């Protein structure tokens, strides 16, 4: 549930939701790539009657592909983020803080 009052908390809440969305997307794609590599490896092994060979090769080969795609997805998501500064405090609050620090 989003916070109601403080604008800084709303900003942090929105930022956290965006980061969670990026992490979820990247994690899902990584899982999908590994599952496809596992399935393809098992299928080729069954086709050629060489049980663990291609499964292991495809799983090892999926690691650099997964890392590359994860980086591309993360960079693409970060490039779409528009920089927004959190709401500034009112000038009265700032003046009070400056007066109390002196």
Any domain includes 75: yes
Handedness of CA 66, 72, 73, 74 (dihedral sign): positive
Any domain includes 1: no
| pTM of the shown model | 0.71
Q: How many domains does the chain have?
A: 1
Distance, CA of 1 to chain centre: 21
Range of the domain at 55: 25-80
What is the per-residue DSSP string for 32-50?
HHHHHHHHHHHHHHHHHT-
Does residue 41 contact residue 55 with C-beta atoms inside 8 Å? Answer: yes
Task: Return d(Cα 62, Cα 89) in angstroms, integer.
Answer: 49
Any domain includes 46: yes
Tens of pLDDT, residue by residue over 82-101, are 776 666 665 566 666 666 66
Does residue 87 contact residue 7 with C-beta atoms inside 8 Å? Answer: yes
Tens of pLDDT, residue by residue over 19-49, are 888 899 999 999 999 999 999 999 999 999 9
Tens of pLDDT, residue by residue over 12-26, are 888 888 888 889 999
pLDDT of residue 93: 61
């Amino acid at each position: 549930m989003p916070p109601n009052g403080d604008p800084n908390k709303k900003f942090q809440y929105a930022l956290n939701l965006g980061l969670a969305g990026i992490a979820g997307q990247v994690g899902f794609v990584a899982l999908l790539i590994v599952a496809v590599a596992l399935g393809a490896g098992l299928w080729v092994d069954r086709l050629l009657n060489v049980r663990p060979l291609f499964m292991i090769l495809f799983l090892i080969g999926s690691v650099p592909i997964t890392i590359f795609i994860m980086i591309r997805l993360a960079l693409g998501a970060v490039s779409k983020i528009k920089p927004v500064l959190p709401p500034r405090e009112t000038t009265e609050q700032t003046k009070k803080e400056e007066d109390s620090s002196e």
